[in-house]
Amino acid sequence: MIAWAEFGIVAVASLVGACVLVTFASVGIRLVESRERTRAARPAAGHLYGAGALAAFAVCAATVVFGIYLIVPAFN
């Protein structure tokens, strides 16, 4: 019979992984947009947005690196 528990784990893990990646990418993109808008008027706020975007993209990069780690059997 089919292993429903395994299937459930796969479903949850897929959802969590995709959500983390897409959420942080979206937040980063949103912050980049905010930075572009405010940079000229309020440089300090622009820097803050920029730093936030960088942090969000760093999480995305980490997710991608983790993906590569999973793909390459030699790392496991």
Residues that bind another protein (CB under 8 A): 1-3, 6-7, 9-11, 13-19, 21-23, 25-27, 29-30, 32-33, 37, 60, 64, 67-68, 70-74
Q: How far is the CB of 38 from another protein (least distance, A)?
A: 12
Q: How far is the CB of 44 from another protein (least distance, A)?
A: 21
In the numeric block, the tokens 């395994």 are attached to 6
Nearer to another protein, 29 or 58 (CB): 29
Instruction: State how far the Cα of 71 lies from the Cα of 24, in Å rounded to an integer.
Output: 22
Instruction: State how far the Cα of 72 lies from the Cα of 38, in Å rounded to an integer.
Output: 42
Structure tokens at 49: 């947005």
Q: How far is the CB of 40 from another protein (least distance, A)?
A: 15
- Other Cβ atoms within 10 Å of 31 Cβ, number: 20
